[in-house]
Structures are given as C-alpha cells and as structure tokens.
Chain A
Amino acid sequence: MVPLAHVLTLSAALFVLGVAGFIIRRNVITIFMCIELMLNAVNLAFIGFARHLGSLDGQLFVFFVIVVAAAEAAVGLAIIIALFRNHESLTIDEIDSMKL
C-alpha cells in the first residue's frame, strides 16, 4: 500500500508543475492544459485523503471535479476557437488589442 505522504508529494509536485506552466507558457492551449494538470493533481490529493481517512466524500468530490473540468473544457475550447477565428494566433502575447 502506497503511504499517504507519497501520494500528497506527487500531487503537490504535479500542482506546482501546472502553476509553473500556467505562468511560463505562452500558447493558450498549453496554458489550458496546465490548468487541467492542476485540477488532476487536486483529484489525486482527494483520492489519497479519501483512502487514508476511509471516507467516501473525497472520491465523490473527484467525480464532481471531473464533470466540472469537462464542462470547462467545452466552454474553454469554444472560446479558444472563436479567438483563433478572430486573431489567427494562439500566442498570448499577440492577443493585446486592449492596453494593460
């Protein structure tokens, strides 16, 4: 049986990778993938905790997160497609018609 600390370390590492990618990456789709990585890191933490605590709530939460992530992907990709139609670019630095 894998101890809880290992699961949490992996989850934290994946989460930090996601955050770092979100900040460093410049392509909209890659940024979106980094956000998905963050959500899945959280799922891992929930499952680890649920098994450690012997409670079902955490596993239940994971299902809700998966559903929400799917809805988010649908909305997000639709927005990104509309963006590509208007700007013909997916680089975040070139999407700057409004001043900062």
Chain B
Amino acid sequence: MPSFYQPGDYQAITPEILLTLFGLAILALDFLLGRGEKWWNALTALLGLGFAAAKLIMFWREVAGQGASYEAFGGRVLLDTFGIYLNLIVVLATALVVLMSARYLEIEKAHHGEYYALLIFSAVGMMLLASGSDLIVLFTALELMALCEYVLTGFLRGSRRSNEAAVKFFLLGAFSSGLLLYGMSLLYGLSGSTRLGPIAEALSHRPANDPLSWMAMITLLAGLFFKIAAVPFHQWTPDAYEGAPTSITAFISVGPKVASFAILLRMLFSAIEPLAAEWKTLTIGVAVATMTLGNLAALTQTNIKRFFGYSTISHVGYLLLGVVAAADGERDGLTAVIIYLLVYAFMNLGAFAVVIMLRRKDLIGDDIDDLAGLMARAPGLAILMLVFLLSLAGIPPLAGFIGKYYIFLSLIETRHYLLAVLAVAYSVVALYYYFRLVVAMFMKPALTHDPLATSAGLRIALAITLAFTLVIGIYPQPFIGYAQEAIRPFFG
C-alpha cells in the first residue's frame, strides 16, 4: 500500500468532490437570493449534477469493455462499471427530484436553499456507498446519506406528520446503523482488515458453521435489510413515506434504495461471498415475506404515499429474488436486479411527479380520492399516470415488464420454480391494486376542477421519466448491454 495517495485517487472521486462543492455553493448562494429567486438554487444543483453525470460517463467509457477497475486510495474506493452505473442512476434520480421540487416547495412555503444542498450531500453519500470498498468508507457514506434524509423528511417543521415521520425514520435508521456497525466490527475482528477483499479471503478460511461468522453475517444483513425496507424491518417505510414532503418521498423511494442495494450487493458478492449458502436461505425467506406483506398491505391503503410505500416494499421483494438467483451463480439474476433498479427509478419518479401536482394551497392531495376524475381534469396527465402504473405492475411493452421478466427468467434458470410461480401470482395481485388508482382516475367523477400545480420542471421530469419508461420497454437491448457490463466486477 502506498504511503501517500496518488493524484489519480482524487480524480477517481471527482464527481463526488464536484457535487460537494456545488452543495456548499448553494448554501452560500442562498443568502444572496430574494424570496422569489430561490429557483437559482435548483439551477445550481442541476448544473452540479450535470457535471457529475458528464464525468461519470467519461469514466464509464474508460472502464467499460476492458473489465478493468481502478482501485483508488489503496483499494478503499473502487472505480468499476458497477459503481459507475449505480452512481449514474443516483445522479439522474436526484436531478429529476430537483426538477420536481421547486413548485411543490413554494406551495408548502418551505423553499429554502438548504433543501437542495441536503439533496446533493445525500447524493454524494449514495455515490460513495456505491463505489466504496472499505467498511469505514461505506459506513461514513451510509450515514452521510441517511442523516441528510432524516432532515429532509422533517423539512416541513410546522407539520405534525412531517415531524413524526422524521422521528420514526431517524430512530429506526440509527438503530439499523447500530446493527450494521456491530456486524462490521465482527468482520473486522475476523479478518483484521476493513477492506472487503481481505474480509472475503479471511472468511473463506473459517471453519463451516463458525458462530462468529454467522453472527457477523446476521447483524450485517439485518442492518442492510432495514435500509432497503425488507420485511421484517420495513415498519418505518409507510410512515416515513406518508409524512415526508412528497418530493422527498419520491427521493427516498428511489435514491437510498439504489444505493442500499449497491452496498448490499457488494457485501453479499464480495465480503461475505464465502457464506453464500447461508445468506441465500436467509434471503429467500426475507424475499417471500417482503413480497407477501408489500403486495397484501398495498391492497387496503387509502393514502397514495402510503400506498407507494407498500408498493416499494413489494418491488424490494422482487429485487431480492433476483439476488437469490444470482447466489446460484446465475449472472442473469444480477443483470435483472441492475436493470430493475434503473427501471424502477424512472417509473416510480414519474408516478410521484403526477402525485406532486395534486398538491394545492388548500389541499394536501395525497388521498387516492384526490386522483378522482383526473381524466376529466387533465387527460394528458391521467394517461401518463396510467403508463407509469402499468409499468409498475409489469405490463409489456413497458419498462417494468423487462425488469420483472428477467427476474422470473433467472429464477426459472436456477430451478426456483416455486419462487417463480409465487412472484407471478403476486404480480397479479399488484395489477389489482395499481388498478384501484386507475379506476379512481378514469371512472370516478372529479371532486374539483381546479387546475393542477404544474411547472416547467415537473413537465421536463415527466417527459424524461416517460421517455425512459417507454424506450427501455420497447428497445431494451442497449440497457441490457450496460447492465451486463455493470455486473462484470462480480462475474468476471
């Protein structure tokens, strides 16, 4: 290990450094702006995210195709296709949330610069989480991401629900970090290193059924399952989703999920890979429980944000099934997870963009009845929402179908027929509850004819999410190619 870091090491984290500088710039800029000029903050945030995305695409061009990866800071931060791919999803999702936020924050009278700065700092945490390969880096990145989210969830200081959501999210999030940290301390004790590679090396030399390795695996996975909202660690999700400002609900339903899956996959397929047989059994149980609870609880919800909370939980169940298939050495399983994360980000953000428009001065707009008669009020929006909901339910030829199709395929290829049948059966249940929203939009009479709270940013966000939802569904080949490239660090 070099005693001094190379200049190239800092180049490897340029996107993160750039974003941090832009976040700090927003904090300073905010003081200079009058009440009506806050959209400059959003513009600055978008500019920073644009630079970061451009740099990430340059990295991708250098790394992809050769299967090479650059180990920065003595192997503590990895610049590989997996990390770059997930970083790009995080940056895109954050940019879409910024686009969706400005108008909503004005209506909530909470349009402050800190909002955008916190979004960006949270994104920096997620990016380091996806490319970190050392327990210290991963833990610090995870907490950077989570602390910003707690504040953003409670951003509407005067609102009881926002407050309550922040407290629940904070307490359970901090608790899960404690569990995760305990697992990390055991991994360190077993291997004498904080880097993932040597940890895997040390674990493979442990005897079978070693209680210490088991303990490390279980506490580590319990902490990570909390972060991705898998059953039985999902309780915070519906409350945090319902109480948070809607734009933040959109953010925490996508960004942290992508980043937490990144650390989960890195842990499973590099650090605790020698325990694959054990964690596979555990993951099957959790995946089935997650799908069951997510799908069944979503049936009876009356609040849209809560509804999407449970819908997210069910999607996490499907993603975990892909992980199960990948544990059997089936590379399609991991490809499916990677595609699903991309697709899920766009269709979920699209649906939330429509929900955000329902908010008006005198109306919270998060009840399913608030969607009633959307077809009569704004036909274009109703049809967009229909596309996103069908995609979430997994109907061809939309993007959501590609994600589910690959998961089912990988399950069949690894002979998990029972799991495949269960997953298909729950897709039918999902179709039913997504159609409750469709029925409200198309069949019920409108309760009000006031115009929706649209803005240029929201329209751009809708156009981008719609474009990706359609293009990935109709012409998935290039995206499958990217995903196959992205999993090369794990499957050679």
Interface residues, chain A, with chain B CB atoms under 8 Å away: 8, 11, 15, 18-19, 22, 28, 31-32, 35, 38-39, 41-42, 45-46, 48-49, 52-53, 55, 57-58, 60-61, 64-65, 68, 71-72, 75-76, 78-80, 82-83, 86-87, 95-98, 100
Would you call B161 and A97 a contact (CB within 8 A)? Answer: yes
Note all chain B residues with C-beta closer than 8 A to A98.
161, 164-165, 238-239, 242-243, 306
**Cβ-defined contact, B143 with A68, below 8 A:** yes
Is residue B481 contacting chain A, with contact meaning CB distance below 8 A?
no
- A35 touching B167 in the complex, CB below 8 Å, given contacts A49-B188, A86-B160, A98-B161: no
Contacting residue for A39 out of B170, B181, B193, CB 8 A: B181
A-B contact pairs, 5 of them (CB 8 A): A31-B171, A42-B184, A49-B185, A49-B188, A98-B165
Q: Among B157, B163, B178, B239, which residue has its beta carbon within 8 angstroms of that of A35?
A: B178
Return the CB mask of B171-203 against A: 1 if under 8 Å, else 0: 100110111011011101100111000000000
* Count of chain B residues with a beta carbon within 8 Å of a chain A beta carbon: 42
Cβ-defined partner of A75 (8 Å) among B168, B170, B242: B170
Q: How far is the CB of B446 from chain A (nearest CB, A)?
A: 26
Give the CA-CA distance A32 to B178 in the complex, in Å. 12
Q: Which residues of A have CB within 8 Å of B182?
A: 15, 38, 41-42, 45
Contact of B139 with A by CB under 8 A? yes
Distance, CA A55 to CA B161, complexed state (A): 47
Asked if B104 is an interface residue, CB under 8 A from chain A, the answer is no
Say yes or no: A57 contacts B194, CB within 8 Å: yes
Interface SS, A side:
helix
Instruction: Choose among A32, A78, A97 the residue that contacts B171 (Cβ–Cβ < 8 A).
Output: A32
Q: Are B140 and A68 in contact (CB-based, < 8 A)? A: yes
Closest residue to B159 on the A side, CB-wise? Answer: A86
B154 interfacial by beta-carbon distance below 8 Å: yes
Specify the chain B residue showing the minimal Cβ separation from A52: B189
**Which of the listed residues B159, B181, B238, B306 has the most CB atoms from chain A within 10 Å of its own CB?**
B181
Q: Across chains A and B, which 8 residue pairs bring their CB atoms closest together, nearest first?
A: A38-B178, A49-B189, A45-B185, A53-B192, A68-B143, A42-B181, A35-B174, A57-B194
Give the complex CA separation of A28 and B165 in angstroms: 13
Give the contacting residue for B188; candidates A22, A39, A46, A95; CB below 8 A: A46
Task: Please tell me if B36 contacts chain A, counting CB pairs below 8 Å.
Answer: no
- Most chain B Cβ neighbours within 10 Å, of A48, A80, A86: A86
Q: Does residue B166 face the partner (Cβ distance < 8 Å to A)?
A: yes
Other contacts beyond A65-B181, A86-B163: 12, CB < 8 A: A19-B178, A32-B171, A57-B193, A61-B184, A71-B143, A72-B143, A79-B150, A79-B154, A87-B163, A95-B167, A95-B168, A98-B243
Q: Is the CB of B163 within 8 A of A82?
A: yes
Residues of A within 8 A of B184 (CB): 42, 61
Question: Which chain B residues (9-23) contact chain A, with CB distance < 8 Å?
Answer: none
Contact B170 A38 (CB under 8 A): no
CA distance A8 to B188 in the complex (A): 13
Contact between chains at A28 and B163 (CB < 8 Å): no
Q: Are A46 and B164 in contact (CB under 8 A)?
A: no
Return the CB mask of B112-151 against A: 1 if under 8 Å, else 0: 0000000000000000000000011001100100010011
User: CA separation between A19 and B166, bound complex, in Å?
Assistant: 20
